[in-house]
Structure 1
Amino acid sequence: MCCDAIENGLCESFNVAIVDARKKPIITMLEEIRRFVMDRMYCKRLKGQKWNLVVCPSIRRKIVDMRTHLRYWHVIASGVQQFDVRLVHEVYVVYLNQRTCACRGWQLSGTPCVHAMAAISYLNENVEDYVATWFITQRFGNCYKYIIKPLNGSEMCPSNIGQNMLPPKRRRFLGRPKVNRKKVASEKEGRCTISKKGAITKCNIRREPCHKKIKCLLSKEGPSTKPKKKKGKHVLDVEDE
């Protein structure tokens, strides 16, 4: 499958959609997820049926935006569907039969890059015919052609003969319940700092690696004699009161 997106937004989007449902008991959580997915599948299927296009509208808009840059590129035919596409000193080799370009944008995204579009326009052919099959409207409809059947409520379920199944006892753990998704070690965000270990500190007055500016004897203020503040809560002295 071709895709030029680097980040994985699918998991994050699904996590945001179920952020309220996952706080509830397991049966209630699954029921809300089922209703959400059922409604989404139906809406996407109706949306795709309204498209009278060969490719999806987002891909068509991308192609229309790139057409404004075609006039800057000069195409030279080399062989059967082989072209040199150049702009001043930039040259890219395009093979339409293999659907490849030297910039690798076509292979990565599945949509013809501006160099490939220039070669396609040189042959007076339709650019949408060279788009990957992943982005055609028919493929979009096949993704959402399945349906999730509706279910009756719990009051319509057949009664169970025997002892009723009770939920487990609710336990309250220490601390505030966590809402955010647990991230792996590679996803943890934090401040990106560079260690100064081993770095040579120079004085801005003498320009020598001997001391800092605050401790320099040539400074007008002289070396600082103020005591360092201690971390922690401030305790009022008699004078402060």
Structure 2
Amino acid sequence: MQEISGRAIEDFMNQDPPHFCKAFINTFSRCDIVDNNLLETFNGYIVQVRHKHIIDMLKDIRVVLMERMFAKKQMMVNSDDNICPRIKKKLEKAKLRSMVCTPRPNRELKFEVRVVDNRYIVDLNKKSCTCRQWDVSGIPCIYAISCINWMKQDIDTYVDDYYKKKTYLMAYQYALQPLNGQQMWPQENIEIILPPTIKKMPGRPKKSKRKDKDEIANSSNKLARIGLKMQYKAYGQYGHNKRTYKHKN
């Protein structure tokens, strides 16, 4: 990229690549997600209630989240697997893809994995692979899985603790508490807050919205009256038209 365009790589580095490019992501977080699914998921939960009054909307959101947290915790409590369900599915798919890998070990539990013409170094002690997928996500890649299978060891032991049952239950150990209905809320002797009075502004209300600088203004075929000079073509006079022109005898 540097050889093709130096300005392109300079602009790329100015966009803070650790937030969207996996090649620059820090391995501490054990997360390779570069898009914000959290907001989209939350918006999907409130899309049915966000048109309500603010108090009713917040009550419905609280109930939905309370039920979700209970369901998520019970799902993992009833599970006999030590790995989260979604991560387990990823590992099963990766096992099938690892069949094309050929690992070659050395004495320090390091492997040179060959895939067609490519080669990668896998270190089982450090839980690392030069493809960086295992380092960033904490989930063994297909090259690491081929080495683990060669050693006849359990793949689940090499999965990061973030994706295990114990950590999952710790995330859902606290629950939202149920609340009484509005008829049982304590009454306060305070002045009721009323909406502001409607004040009619002078002038004709605008029908079109205020456009941003990058928006194209609406094209109109109507001619503005200000600044136009009327012309009576029969006599070539400006400032008059056929109706207002006074003929000279």
Q: Structure 2 length as normaliser, TM-score?
A: 0.64
The one of 184, 187, 196 aligned to 1:156:
184
Greater gyration radius? 2
- Give the aligned partner of residue 117 of structure 2: 89
User: How much does 1:116 deviate?
Assistant: 0.4
1:213 aligned partner: none
Q: CA deviation at 1:232?
A: 6.0
Matched, 1:47 2:68: no
| Separation (CA, whole Å) in 1 of partners of 2:114 and 2:182 | 67
RMSD: 2.7
Cα distance in 2, alignment partners of residues 169 and 140 from structure 1: 46
Is 2:148 aligned against 1:111? Answer: no
How many pairs align?
Answer: 179
In structure 2, the gaps of 5 or more residues are 1-28, 199-204, 207-214, 222-249
Among 46, 51, 56, which residue is 1:18 paired with?
46
Deviation of residue 27 (structure 1)?
2.5
1:38 lines up with 2:75 in the alignment: no
In the other structure, the counterpart of 1:76 is 104
Counterpart of 1:13 in 2: which secondary structure?
Answer: helix
What one-letter code is carried by the residue in structure 2 that aligns with 1:149? Q
> Would you say 1:124 and 2:124 are equivalent positions?
no
Using the aligned pairs only, state the percent identity.
30
SS at match of 2:47: coil
Correspondence 1:139-218 to 2 at 5 A: 139-160=167-188, 162-163=189-190, 165-169=191-195
- In the other structure, the counterpart of 2:209 is none
Write out per-residue CA displacement over residues 114-157 of structure 1, whole angstroms, 9 at most, x where no aligned residue: 11011111111011110011111221111112111111111112
Distance 1:97 1:45, change over 3 A: same
For residues 71 and 107 of structure 2, the distance between their equivalents in structure 1, rounded to whole angstroms, comes to 47
What's the secondary structure of 2:50's corresponding residue?
Answer: helix
Q: Name the SS for the 2:61 alignment partner.
A: helix
- Change over 3 Å in CA distance of 1:154–1:81 after alignment to 2: same
- Structure 1: which amino acid aligns with 2:96? T
Displacement of 1:108: 1.8
Amino acid at match of 2:84: C
Structure 1: gaps (5+ residues): 176-189, 191-230, 234-241
Q: Could you tell me which residue of structure 2 aligns to residue 185 of structure 1?
A: none
Change (3 A) 1:83 1:23: same
Shift of 1:31: 1.7
Instruction: State the TM-score, normalizing by the size of structure 1.
Output: 0.66
With over 3 angstroms needed to count, the CA separation of the structure-2 counterparts of 1:78 and 1:171, relative to structure 1, is farther
Q: Secondary structure at the match of 1:23?
A: coil
Query: For 2:126, what is the secondary structure of its paired residue?
Result: coil
Alpha-carbon distance in 1 for matches of 2:61, 2:99: 50
Q: SS at the partner of 1:75?
A: strand
Please list the CA deviations of residues 86-133 of structure 1 after superposition, one character each: whole Å capped at 9, or x if unmatched: 123211001111111011111122110011011111111011110011
